[in-house]
Amino acid sequence: MHQLIDDYLNFLAVEKGASRNTLEGYSRDLNRYAAFIDGLKIRDIRQIGAEELISYLSRLKSGGLAANSMNRALAALRGFYKYLLREKKLESTPVAHIELARVWTHLPDVLSREEMSLLLTQPGSATPAAVRDAAMLELIYATGIRVSELTGLTLNSINWQVGYLIAMGKGEKERIVPLGRTAYDQVKRYIEVARPLMLKSRQCDILFLNRLGKGMTRQGFWKIVKKYAAKAKLAKKVHPHTFRHSFATHLLEGGADLRSVQIMLGHADISTTQIYTHVTRERLKEVHRKYHPRG
């Protein structure tokens, strides 16, 4: 099975253009499944039936795996078995009648506009790193891009004449996202004032740099977020994805249509974006309770 998994991942990378994050996730899920099958002493993939698959999923659930993670694990298996059918390695698969685990919709962590404004003012501009941090925080909130997209931006990713950036999303798909005046000014200031000092005569096309003059990593940005969230003394837990959730929620609260938000977030399916309508419904109920005489 391990060789079949390697073949499948290679197929995803070469023929489907899957992103590195997707490949890493599928690799983890499928190799965990292979390890479970190895433990059952099954050497022929044709001997795996629905009973073994259900046992595997039950193991994941009893291990405390969240519903979303279980769905992802099952999606990886569906894709893998579909590939095996296509390659005529199997005539039928055990996943045919397995339903996706029920996903209990957890509302995304969202900061209010006031909380976000407070957080964005924390870096200041006393040092080149502070100017960079302010630009990164402002940009990720203004555009709703993912952390991997933020750290992957290059100097050519921004169109300064029109005021938009090109984000490279999942599956290497490009999308255009407007910048907004504040983010535009903050990033431009970083490029003109702070970035040359951080580059230290090196050559690097990555937009946001670390103290060594190399591209900022996702882990590096995570530390930046934690630092300023603590400085702002926010009661809520703040993580990099909070900016993306807040971006979408504030747009919808301001009257943006769901389709436009879907495009800016880079969601292939609008149902993924619809989770944010639950957030705005909560806001509507809150307003009704507060202001309606019979709320």
Q: Which of 83, 141, 164, 276 is catalytic?
A: 276
Q: Which of 132, 195, 244, 245 is catalytic?
A: 244
**Three-class HEC string of 210-277:** CCCCCECCHHHHHHHHHHHHHHHCCCCCCCHHHHHHHHHHHHHHCCCCHHHHHHHHCCCCHHHHCHHH
Q: Which of 170, 181, 236, 281 is catalytic?
A: 170
Active site residue 276: yes
Q: Which of 146, 195, 245, 250 is catalytic?
A: 146
CA 61, chain centre distance (Å): 23
14 Cβ neighbours under 8 A, 6+ residues apart: none
Active site residue 170: yes
Instruction: Quote the tokens at residue 194.
Output: 């702070």
Q: Which of 16, 241, 278, 283 is catalytic?
A: 241
Active site residue 146: yes
Query: Which among 276, 242, 226 has a CA at the least distance from the CA of 111?
Result: 242
User: What does the alpha-carbon distance between residue 185 and residue 208 come to, in Å, rounded to a whole number?
Assistant: 15
Catalytic residue numbers read 146, 170, 241, 244, 267, 276
